[in-house]
């Protein structure tokens, strides 16, 4: 969902004000996502850490494992 918002922000008009606002919003989303990922670690511990290692934070399918 966060990646979709970032892509949407990148597809907006290219006025200087839009670029500045979209860049700030993108940084906000990335930092917010990183902070949000800390809460489940405190609640679920090692189980969530294992989940984080298997599932990417922002880019789906970036950790594909080929057997």
Q: For the chain, which residues make up each domain, given as ranges?
A: 2-54
Provide the terminal-to-terminal Cα distance of the chain, rounded to the nearest Å.
28
Question: Is pTM beyond 0.85 here?
Answer: no
Query: For 15-64, what is each residue's pLDDT tens digit?
Result: 999 889 999 999 999 999 999 989 999 999 999 999 988 888 888 777 65
- Cβ-based neighbours of 57, under 8 Å, separated by 6 or more: 33, 34, 37
């Amino acid at each position: 969902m966060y990646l979709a918002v970032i892509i949407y922000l990148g597809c907006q008009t290219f006025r200087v004000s839009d670029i500045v606002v979209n860049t700030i919003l993108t940084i906000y989303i990335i930092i917010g996502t990183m902070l949000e990922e800390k809460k489940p670690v405190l609640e679920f511990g090692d189980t969530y850490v294992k989940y984080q290692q298997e599932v990417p934070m922002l880019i789906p399918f970036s950790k594909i494992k080929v057997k």
